[in-house]
Amino acid sequence: MNNSVAGFSKLTKEEKINWIANEYFAKPAEAVATIKQYWNSDVKLQQLHDEFIENTITNFYLPMGIAPNFLINGKYYSVPMVIEESSVVAAAAKSAKFWATRGGFKATVLNTEKIGQVHFLFNGDSVKLQRFFDAVKQTLIASTESITANMQKRGGGITSLELRNKTGELEHYFQLHATFETKDSMGANFINSCLEQLAKTLKQEAQNHADFNEAEKEITIVMSILSNYVPNCVVRAEVSCRVEELAEKKIENPQLFAEKIVQAVNIAEVEPFRAVTHNKGIMNGVDAVILATGNDFRAVEAGVHAYASRSGKYSSLSHAKIENGIFSFWMEIPLALGTVGGLTSLHPLVKTALEILGKPSAQELMQIVAVTGLAQNFAALRSLTTTGIQEGHMKMHINNILNQYQTNAEERKMIKTHFENNTISHSAVVSFIENLRKP
C-alpha cells in the first residue's frame, strides 16, 4: 500500500478525513465516525480549534481537573491541571491539603530575564569585530524601537546586548547575546522579531564599516532565535515545618519520615538514573498547570532539564534538609511563562483556568506552577518512603482497566470490593473480570 499523498494541505477537512479513513482503516466509516465524534457542536468554537494548527481533522481531549487548597504566600488557590496520568491531580491535592495546615507554601520569583541570540559567522579579526560592535551597539538597539515601543511602555524591552566570541568552540562563530524583560507575555514572538531586526542591522552596518576589509564586511547570519534555556528566569518554591509537625495517620514516626525524604532527595542529587524519574514527577505537576494555562510545556521541559544539568551532571531539581529540628523542602526552577498573548487569549478553557487562578500575572503564575511541581514531588516521595508508589497509583489506574473492559455498575462494585484487601495489578484485575464473566 502506498500511503503517500500530494497536496494534502490543500484538501478540505472532510477530504483529509476520508483519505485517512480509506487509506489506513479496514472499516473507513467507523474511523470517520470516531474522528467526528470529538468535533465540537459549536461551529465557531470548532473553527477556532481547527485554526490552532495545520491539517486539523479533530480534537484530542485531555481531562482537566482541579487540585484545591493550595496555600501559597498566604493566599488559597484551586489549581487547574490538564493531564492524562492517573493519580497526579489526587496527589497534588493531597499534598496541598497536607501543607495548608503547616503554614502553606512560600514562593519567590528570583529573576525574570529571558534570552535571545543572533548566531553569525565572521571571517576576520575578532578585535576589530569587538570595536565595531562597541561603536554600533546603540544603533543596533535603536533599530528595534518600533518593535519594543509597546513593551517598553509596560516596563519591558531589551535589557542588555553583548557580543560573544565562540570561536574557541566553533570556527568563525560569534553571537549577539541579548536579554529581555517581557512582563506578563511569554514574549517568544517579540524576542524573535527583535533578534531578526538586530541581525539585519548588524549586517547592514558591517557592510558600511570603513575598518573592515571585504571579507569582514560579509557577516553571515546563520539564525536569530530565542533560547528556551532561561537560567535567570527562576522561581523558588519551598515548605518547612518542625519535624514533629509532619506526624499524621500514615506518618507515625515523623523523624524517620523526614530522614527518609532527605535520603531520597540526596540519592536523586547524585544518581542520574533516579534524578530523571524524580524530576519527571516534578514535571507532572508543572506541565499539567502549563497546559491548562496555555503555555508551552515543551519549551519549559527543555529549559528545566538543561537547568538540572548545569553542574555538568544531571541532578535533582528539589532539595531537602533537617536543621535545628526543622524539616525544609525546596526547589528552584526556570520558568518562562505568560498570561497574555497566544492561547491565553484564544482558548476558552485557558481563559477559564486563568479566571480560576484569579487572573494571575506572569510572575504569580510562575509561583503557582513551581509550587504545584514541588507538591507533586513531595507526594511522590511521601508514597515512595511509606506505602510505596503503587498503592495509590494502582487504585487510580484500576478505573482505566475497568473502562477498557467496559465493566457495568455491578461488576465495578464487586471488583472494587475485592481489591480493597488484595494487591492491585493489571493482570489481577483482568483475571478477576474474566472469572466474573465466566458462565
User: What percent of the residues of the chain are helix, what percent strand, and what percent coil, each to the nearest 5?
Assistant: 50, 20, 30
Dist. CA 33–CA 170, nearest whole Å: 54
* Residue 390 pLDDT level (bands cut at 50, 70, 90): low
Dist. CA 251–CA 261, nearest whole Å: 12
The answer to whether 153 is a known catalytic residue is: no
Domain boundaries, the chain: 8-50, 83-109+235-387, 114-227, 393-436
With 0-12 CB in 10 A as exposed, 13-18 as middle and 19+ as buried, what is 180?
Answer: buried
pLDDT in tens, 122-136: 999 999 999 999 999
The residue from 280, 351, 416, 418 that is catalytic is 280
Per-position DSSP letters for 12-32, written without gaps between them: -HHHHHHHHHHHH-SSHHHHH
Nearest CA to 155 among 351, 293, 361, 344?
A: 361
Q: What is the model's pLDDT at position 389?
A: 55
Q: Is the pLDDT of residue 249 over 60?
A: yes
DSSP 3-state of 331? strand
pLDDT in tens, 192-224: 999 999 999 999 999 999 999 999 999 999 999
Q: Is the pLDDT of residue 392 over 70?
A: no
Whether the CB-CB separation of 79 and 93 falls below 8 Å is answered with: no
Q: Identify the CATH class of 114-227.
A: alpha beta
The residue from 181, 196, 287, 296 that is catalytic is 296
* Residue 415 pLDDT level (bands cut at 50, 70, 90): confident
The answer to whether 296 is a known catalytic residue is: yes
The answer to whether 393 is a known catalytic residue is: yes
* Residue 403 pLDDT level (bands cut at 50, 70, 90): confident
Dist. CA 181–CA 292, nearest whole Å: 24
The answer to whether 416 is a known catalytic residue is: no
- Residue 197 carries which side chain, given as an amino acid letter? Q
The residue from 23, 50, 85, 218 that is catalytic is 85
pLDDT in tens, 319-334: 999 999 999 999 999 9
- CA 326, chain centre distance (Å): 31
Q: Please indicate whether the domains covering 83-109+235-387 and 114-227 agree at the CATH topology level.
A: no
pLDDT in tens, 28-40: 999 999 999 999 9
DSSP 3-state of 120? strand
Dist. CA 421–CA 157, nearest whole Å: 61
The residue from 94, 278, 393, 397 that is catalytic is 393
Mean pLDDT for 144-163 is 96
Q: What is the model's pLDDT at position 394?
A: 62
Question: What CATH number matches the domain at 83-109+235-387, 3.90.770.10, 3.40.50.620, 3.50.50.60, 3.40.50.300?
Answer: 3.90.770.10
Question: How large is the C-alpha radius of gyration of the chain?
Answer: 27
Q: What is the model's pLDDT at position 388?
A: 61
Per-position DSSP letters for 50-111, written without gaps between them: HTTSSS--------EEEEEEEEETTEEEEEEEE--STTHHHHHHHHHHHHHTTT-BEEEE--
Give the list of residues 6+ apart from residue 281 with CB closer than 8 angstroms, or none: 376, 377, 380
- Residue 277 carries which side chain, given as an amino acid letter? T
Q: What is the model's pLDDT at position 225?
A: 98
Give the list of residues 6+ apart from residue 184 with CB closer than 8 angstroms, or none: 154, 338, 339, 340, 361, 362
Q: What is the model's pLDDT at position 428?
A: 82
Nearest CA to 396 among 426, 374, 421, 418?
A: 426
Q: Is the pLDDT of residue 396 over 70?
A: no
Q: What is the model's pLDDT at position 134?
A: 98
Dist. CA 140–CA 389, nearest whole Å: 55
pTM of the complete model: 0.88
Dist. CA 73–CA 282, nearest whole Å: 20
